[in-house]
Amino acid sequence: AQRVTQPEKLLSVFKGAPVELKCNYSYSGSPELFWYVQYSRQRLQLLLRHISRESIKGFTADLNKGETSFHLKKPFAQEEDSAMYYCALNPGNTGKLIFGQGTTLQVKP
């Protein structure tokens, strides 16, 4: 079955602390994975694509096929990082995204 799991509903850290938002997937083929972010009262925004291996706003995510994971990391959290983060799978490049349940990141001052 095709599935995306974000085990943490809420992750609360202090400013300056490292952050890791977990994402695990279930997919038999070669996965196409994304991280999206939704700030309060704003639209869903694309944060990262695994194929581009980029770093956006200090966030990185590495695809680990052995562990079927695509965790999102940032070494030093900022208060403005507080938002809802969704991991999504694009099965077979169809564009029909399968989303995880989302993790709310709360960065405390």
Based on the shown chain and the rule CB under 8 A, indicate whether residue 91 belongs to the binding site for another protein: no
Distances (CA, A) of 52 to 3, 19, 61, 83: 22, 21, 10, 23
Nearest to another protein of 11, 102 (CB atom)? 102
Report the site for another protein in 50-69 (rule: CB under 8 A).
Answer: 51
Based on the shown chain and the rule CB under 8 A, indicate whether residue 30 belongs to the binding site for another protein: no
Based on the shown chain and the rule CB under 8 A, indicate whether residue 102 belongs to the binding site for another protein: yes
Residue 79 zone, left/alpha/beta (φ > 0; ψ -120 to 50; rest): alpha
Spatial separation of the C-alpha atoms in residues 7 and 2, rounded to whole Å: 16
Is residue 98 within 8 A of residue 4, CB to CB? The reply is yes
Based on the shown chain and the rule CB under 8 A, indicate whether residue 35 belongs to the binding site for another protein: no
CA dihedral 42, 103, 107, 15 (to 10 degrees): -120
Based on the shown chain and the rule CB under 8 A, indicate whether residue 95 belongs to the binding site for another protein: yes
Nearest to another protein of 41, 109 (CB atom)? 41
Taking CB under 8 A as the criterion, the residue among 70, 72, 90, 105 binding another protein is 90
| Chain residues that interact with another protein, rule: CB under 8 A | 32, 34, 36, 42-46, 49, 51, 86, 88, 90, 93, 95-102
